[in-house]
């Protein structure tokens, strides 16, 4: 199975992939076997960790079970967009202080601060475009499907046009996070790290995990279903 399909069927598996460092969002079409090989993790060990999760409990939210595209878009805004907007100021402030106080001993902090600043600006612009253009159109598609109506008017032609832009934004965001993970040694604070240092690295790790889930829901669930719905209505 592809990594994206595994996470779509059971969201709990995302934590396993994040812990090992497997990218199930921007590289979600990669098979479990190939991803394990690239990461240097024995496939049997990875399968064992997934199996240890046990059966998915009844009531566990899964992207696969979400058929209402408008509801899924609202979930992404309420859960992930809100998290990004609430978290960026804290991480940015911590990185500014850390670079000023510890930058001489840890020059990688300057690179992390720059990469996160670029990521933050791009994400805020990206989310605004989704909330004001793409998601309202997806909601209109869903409403037309429910009422048996016709294809709603679009400000951008086919929905494939903005989706291509959004997916490119996602790839760039993933590249920023990859650099931050590399420079921070996998978010492992150095031996002389103060409490703020440790809090900042913990927050960066959580930010990456949330971004992976966020991008996965859009790239592998919301966008493909919206494209299919537009085609059906058209």
Predicted confidence at residue 63, as pLDDT, reads 53
Predicted confidence at residue 7, as pLDDT, reads 83
| Residue 30, C-beta contacts closer than 8 angstroms, at least 6 positions apart | 2, 3, 23, 38
Sorting pLDDT into bands at 50, 70 and 90, what band is 66? low
What is the three-state SS of 29-40? CCEHHHHHHHHC
Predicted confidence at residue 41, as pLDDT, reads 86
Query: CA-CA distances (angstroms) from residue 123 to 65, 158, 211?
Result: 27, 23, 10
| Residue 31, C-beta contacts closer than 8 angstroms, at least 6 positions apart | 1, 2, 3
Q: 213: closest CA among 51, 13, 70?
A: 13
What average pLDDT score do residues 71-87 get? 94
- Residue 57 gets the label, from left (phi > 0), alpha (psi -120 to 50) or beta, of beta
Sorting pLDDT into bands at 50, 70 and 90, what band is 38? confident
Tens-place pLDDT, residues 168-226: 999 999 999 999 999 999 999 999 999 999 999 999 999 999 999 999 999 999 999 99
Q: Is the pLDDT of residue 64 over 50?
A: no
Return the SS3 of 157: coil
| Residue 64, C-beta contacts closer than 8 angstroms, at least 6 positions apart | 8, 9, 221
- Percent of the chain residues past pLDDT 70, beyond the cut: 95
The angle, 0 to 180 degrees and rounded to 10, between the axes of the packed helices 160-183 and 108-129 is 160
Q: Hey, how many other C-beta atoms are within 10 angstroms of the C-beta on 231? A: 12
Q: Is the pLDDT of residue 52 over 70?
A: yes
Tens-place pLDDT, residues 141-173: 999 999 998 999 998 999 999 999 999 999 999
Predicted confidence at residue 169, as pLDDT, reads 97
Q: Is the pLDDT of residue 36 over 70?
A: yes
The angle, 0 to 180 degrees and rounded to 10, between the axes of the packed helices 13-20 and 195-217 is 130
Q: Is the pLDDT of residue 59 over 60?
A: no
Tens-place pLDDT, residues 111-138: 999 999 999 999 999 999 999 999 999 9
Q: Is the pLDDT of residue 106 over 90?
A: yes
H or E segment and range at residue 43? helix 43-51
Query: CA-CA distances (angstroms) from residue 197 to 2, 81, 101, 112, 113?
Result: 36, 25, 10, 12, 13
């Amino acid at each position: 199975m592809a990594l994206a399909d595994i996470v779509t069927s059971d969201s709990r598996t995302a934590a396993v992939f994040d812990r090992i460092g497997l990218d199930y969002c921007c590289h979600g079409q990669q098979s479990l076997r190939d991803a394990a090989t690239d990461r240097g993790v024995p496939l049997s060990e990875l399968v064992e960790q997934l199996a240890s999760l046990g059966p998915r409990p009844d009531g566990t939210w899964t992207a696969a079970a979400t058929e209402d595209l408008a509801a899924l878009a609202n979930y992404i805004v309420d859960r992930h967009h809100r998290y990004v907007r609430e978290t960026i100021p804290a991480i940015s402030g911590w990185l500014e202080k850390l670079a000023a106080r510890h930058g001489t001993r840890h020059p990688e902090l300057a690179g992390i601060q720059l990469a996160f600043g670029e990521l933050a600006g791009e994400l805020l612009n990206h989310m605004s475009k989704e909330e004001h253009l793409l998601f309202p159109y997806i909601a209109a598609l869903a409403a037309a499907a429910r009422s048996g109506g016709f294809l709603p008017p679009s400000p951008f032609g086919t929905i494939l046009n903005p989706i291509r832009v959004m997916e490119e934004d996602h790839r760039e965001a993933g590249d920023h996070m990859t650099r931050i993970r590399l420079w921070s040694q996998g978010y492992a604070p150095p031996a002389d790290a103060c409490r703020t240092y440790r809090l900042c690295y913990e927050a960066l790790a959580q930010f990456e995990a949330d971004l992976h889930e966020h991008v996965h829901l859009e790239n592998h669930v919301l966008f493909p279903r919206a494209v299919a719905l537009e085609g059906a209505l058209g």
